[in-house]
Each structure stands twice: as C-alpha cells, then as structure tokens.
C-alpha cells in the first residue's frame, strides 16, 4: 500500500472539511456514536466510511494497484521473501475441484484454475530496532535465518490478508503480522494469493491450499523444515478469515470423501486423511458473500463497510481493464451461482465435525451475525470455539484502533489463541496447556468489562433460515434488483 506523504496528502487533503465537520458533531454529541466512541475513533471510522462508500469510486485496477504497492521494509520486523513452487503433479487441483463438486447444492459456474507458484513472506519480529531502521542488505535466506534466531516457539501462523479478495497484499500487512509473530514468539508465513476479479474463485483458495501443504511438506529448496500441523495456526482478517475457514472446510471435505490413498505433492505421497491445522482464527471474518444476515443492516452505525442499500456492489465501479470481466459475471470474486457454496461462503457449511479449534474476534459490526452462526454451529458439533465480541467496535478494529483498550485487547487475545492452539508439546499430543475450551465473551464499550455468553446459542438464524436468506439474496441479484442486470449480461 502506498503510504508515502504525497499519496496520503492526495487522499486526505480534500477530506479536511469533512473531518472538521465530523469533529464538531462529535464534540457537540450530535453524532449517533459519540456516546461510545472517542474523537479519534469517530474521525477514523467516518473517514474510512467516506472513502469506501464514495458515490464515485475509483476504477478497480487503480484501487488494486494502490493497495498492493510495496511501502518498503523497515523497523522491528524480519521479512524473508519466498516463492513456493508449483508441484508437477495435478493432485492438489484435482482434490480441490472434487471438493467443489461434492459440496455444491445445485449447478454452479466456475473454472478450474491453473496451479501456479505462490509468493509469500516469512515474517518475524526483529527485537531492539527503531521503527525507522532500514532492512539489512542480506540474502533472503540470511533474513530467514535471522528471523528464526529470534523465534523461540515452534508455532507457525499461516496468515491470509484481508481486502475484499481484490485488494491488499502481504506488504500491506507487515506491521500487524510482525506484531502477531512477536506475541506468539514464533513466525508467520503471509501468503500473496491471487486477487480477483482477474483470478476468481477458486484461485485464491488453491494458492492457500498449496501454501499450507508446503509448510507441512516443504518442496525441494525450501528455507524451512517440515512443520507439524499441530503447530500451524491459520489466521486472517476479513476476506483472509474467509479463506482460513474455507481452507478448513476444504480439508474436512477431502477427509470426509477420502479415507484411503494419497495425494502426490512434489514427488511425495501425502496419505489421506490430510492433517488438520492446530487452529483457525480471524478478526472480523467475511463468511457470507451474499451479505444476507440481519446485522449487515442492523449494525451499520458502528461500521464503515458500505451497506447493501440498493446500490449493487459491482456495477457502480467504472469500466477498466479488469472490470467487467470477459465474459461478465455478477460478483468480483465468483459467479453468482457460487455465492452460497461452503468454500465461497463458509456460513453455508453445515458440518464442522473434526475441525480444529476456532477463534472469532468481532465488533458490533455488519458481519457479526455470519460469524455468530458459524461459531454456534461448530460449537454444537463439539468443536472448541472461542468467540469474543466488542460492543460498538467496527470491522477489523484490532488492526485499526490500537489506541483503544478494546483494540489492544482484541489483538492480544487473538495472538493468545494462536499461541495456545499451536503450543502442543512435541512429546505429548494431549498437552494440557494446549487444550482449548469453548468460551464466549462480550466486552462492554470503553471499559471492556467482560460478560460470559453461550457460544452455542449465538446464532440469530437457524441453518434452514440461513439457507433461505442466502437463496433469496442470490435470486435478487440474479434478477438484477441491485442493478447489475442493467449493465451486465448473465453467464
């Protein structure tokens, strides 16, 4: 992401009158959120909201290029850039396609993607370094060795950045990911998965699946040694959370359908069932791409995400070299027929049996209900689930509002889950310290006073009602009620 002074000035200078007006309304207690937010939070969230919900959005290609621009590497972080090679075998793609087919509820439209090399960044904490300290002039292998010299834990976080599936990059998330590495005393592998709309579903999921297998079964020439699945924790924010839980569903589906045989990966046979990671965690996971749940409208005042207010999420973008696609489709990430597929929207998944432990950090945000539904279903099926929700907090607040106690606590608790989930002893798979139990907590605004809640009863809709709501939302978009049919032909 371009954070140069000139780029920030171009973005924020025109917003000065808006910022002044927002500050005045807050000081006069005229805003609906002034009772729970401080002035800094009010301005931050209002400004982000105005940028994301602009009536004249920038072309997707321009936004994408800006969001993936590398700001450089400096300060207290170790970064070692790697490319995970594609296997010669096609098994990884084949089992993914088989899972898509076996999990579909009706006819769906998608294209099986090519397997490509996946770029990623090993990320760790570099101690006793000023924030403006430049990166050392070393080889990537030397950077990795330095990173490992400061990692005292075997825990490895496979990190998947957010950005609505079409924005952001490991380079935009280096600061929070290095912070996560510091708090777990371990390392993170941040994946540069393919972005939409150029690379629709299941491209990103295939890249993430390849990265996960590469951790466990390193291809020739890898910097790292094999990592036991019991030390690998998935983590992601927003759309990255979507990919984390979709990857869990993919592994579960492969294991449900294959009990014998193996998968060929860089000349190695990987026996079924595939190892499940130690945990899956997310800040504000985007688990429903149909955007059908009640909180999408009910929690608008506490969030900055654009609401589905009758202006569809795709036709408002100016035409450019990447949008509309050829042939056109009704969603940036996938064909509309895929929106209720469990590997696109994990909200639709009915079976989380044998899943790894889960962690959800949510604000009182627009995506809260979809997280509640997944957490509740998984907990009822015996999966250890930690659910934490913070009153009056917006989407991904731990990464945006570090000045608040809620922001600091949310990030530390996320890291604590990763540390505990991945801390299984090498000598004892039943290490008592690594045991995670289902627990739900509501944190009050400002004070962060904790109130226990029952995770199993979190869901505001039954699974039957979820399916009905998702189907209704998809049919509405297919009919063009949100506008896309006026400009986009159907596949």
| DSSP at 353 | T
Closest CA to 314 of 483, 178, 127: 483
pLDDT for the residue 264: 98
CB 106 within 8 A of CB 337: yes
| DSSP at 438 | -
- What is the residue whose two structure tokens read 């949510």? 362
pLDDT for the residue 54: 85
Contacts of residue 231, Cβ cutoff 8 Å, sequence gap at least 6? 154, 155, 156, 278, 422, 424
> What does the block give as tokens for 141?
């292998």
pLDDT for the residue 434: 52
Could you give phi then psi for residue 113, rounded to 5 degrees? Answer: -80, 165
> What gap in Å lies between CA 346 and CA 375, rounded to an integer?
11
> What gap in Å lies between CA 243 and CA 427, rounded to an integer?
31
Q: How many CA atoms lie within 13 A of 375 on its CB side?
A: 34
- What is the residue whose two structure tokens read 């809640």? 453
- What is the residue whose two structure tokens read 């920038």? 58
Closest CA to 368 of 385, 341, 347, 344: 347
> What gap in Å lies between CA 409 and CA 442, rounded to an integer?
12
> What gap in Å lies between CA 332 and CA 334, rounded to an integer?
6
Q: Ramachandran region of residue 29, left (φ > 0), alpha (ψ -120 to 50) or beta? A: left
pLDDT for the residue 425: 56
Q: Is 304 in a helix, a strand, or coil?
A: coil
- What is the residue whose two structure tokens read 């895929």? 338
> What gap in Å lies between CA 404 and CA 402, rounded to an integer?
5
> What does the block give as tokens for 47?
């400004």
- What is the residue whose two structure tokens read 């986009």? 488
Burial class for 215, CB neighbours closer than 10 Å (0-12, 13-18, 19+): buried
Q: What is the CA radius of gyration of the chain?
A: 22
C-alpha 418: how far from its chain's center? 15
- The predicted model scores a pTM of 0.94
pLDDT along the chain (491 residues), means of 10: 63 75 86 93 93 89 96 97 98 98 94 97 97 97 98 98 98 98 98 98 98 98 98 98 98 96 97 98 98 96 85 78 93 96 98 98 98 98 98 98 97 98 66 75 97 98 97 90 37 27
């Amino acid at each position: 992401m371009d954070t140069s002074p000139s780029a920030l000035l171009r973005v924020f200078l025109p917003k000065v009158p808006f910022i002044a007006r927002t500050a005045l309304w807050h000081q006069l207690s005229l805003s609906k959120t002034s009772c729970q937010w401080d002035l800094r939070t009010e301005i931050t969230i209002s400004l982000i909201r105005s940028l994301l919900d602009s009536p004249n959005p920038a072309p997707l290609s321009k936004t994408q290029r800006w969001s993936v621009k590398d700001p450089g590497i400096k300060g207290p972080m170790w970064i070692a850039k790697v490319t995970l090679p594609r296997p010669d075998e096609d098994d990884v793609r084949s089992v993914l396609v088989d899972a898509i087919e076996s999990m579909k509820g009706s006819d769906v439209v998608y294209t099986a993607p090519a397997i490509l090399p996946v770029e990623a960044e090993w990320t760790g904490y570099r101690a006793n370094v000023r924030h403006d300290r430049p990166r050392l002039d070393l080889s990537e292998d030397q950077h990795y060795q330095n990173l490992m010299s400061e990692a005292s834990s075997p825990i490895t976080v496979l990190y998947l950045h957010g950005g609505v599936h079409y924005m952001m990059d490991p380079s935009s998330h280096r600061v929070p990911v290095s912070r996560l590495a510091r708090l777990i005393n371990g390392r993170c592998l941040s994946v540069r998965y393919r972005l939409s709309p150029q690379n629709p579903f299941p491209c990103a999921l295939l890249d993430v699946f390849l990265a996960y297998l590469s951790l466990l079964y390193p291809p020739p020439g890898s910097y790292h040694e094999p990592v036991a699945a019991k030390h690998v924790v998935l983590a992601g924010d927003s759309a990255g959370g979507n990919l984390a839980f979709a990857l869990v569903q993919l592994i579960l589906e492969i294991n449900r359908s294959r009990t014998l045989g193996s998968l060929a990966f860089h000349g190695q046979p990987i026996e079924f069932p595939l190892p499940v990671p130690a945990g899956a965690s997310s800040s504000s996971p985007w688990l429903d791409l149909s955007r059908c749940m009640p909180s999408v409208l009910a929690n608008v005042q506490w969030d900055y995400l654009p609401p589905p207010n009758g202006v569809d999420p795709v036709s408002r973008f100016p035409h450019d070299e990447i949008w509309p696609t050829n042939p056109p489709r009704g969603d940036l990430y996938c064909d509309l027929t895929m929106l209720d597929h469990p590997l696109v929207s994990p909200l639709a998944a009915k079976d989380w049996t044998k899943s790894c432990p889960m962690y959800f950090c949510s604000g009182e945000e627009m995506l809260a209900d979809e997280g509640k539904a997944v957490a509740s279903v998984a907990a009822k099926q015996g999966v250890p689930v930690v659910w934490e929700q913070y009153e009056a907090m917006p989407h991904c607040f731990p990464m945006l509002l570090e000045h608040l106690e809620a922001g600091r606590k949310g990030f530390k608790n996320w890291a604590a889950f990763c540390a505990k989930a991945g801390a299984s002893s090498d000598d004892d798979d039943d290490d008592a310290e690594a045991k995670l139990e289902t627990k739900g907590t509501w944190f009050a605004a400002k004070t962060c006073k904790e109130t226990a809640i029952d995770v199993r009863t979190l869901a505001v809709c039954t699974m039957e009602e979820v399916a009905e709501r998702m189907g209704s939302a998809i049919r509405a978009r297919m009919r063009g009620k949100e506008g896309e049919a006026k400009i986009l032909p159907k596949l």
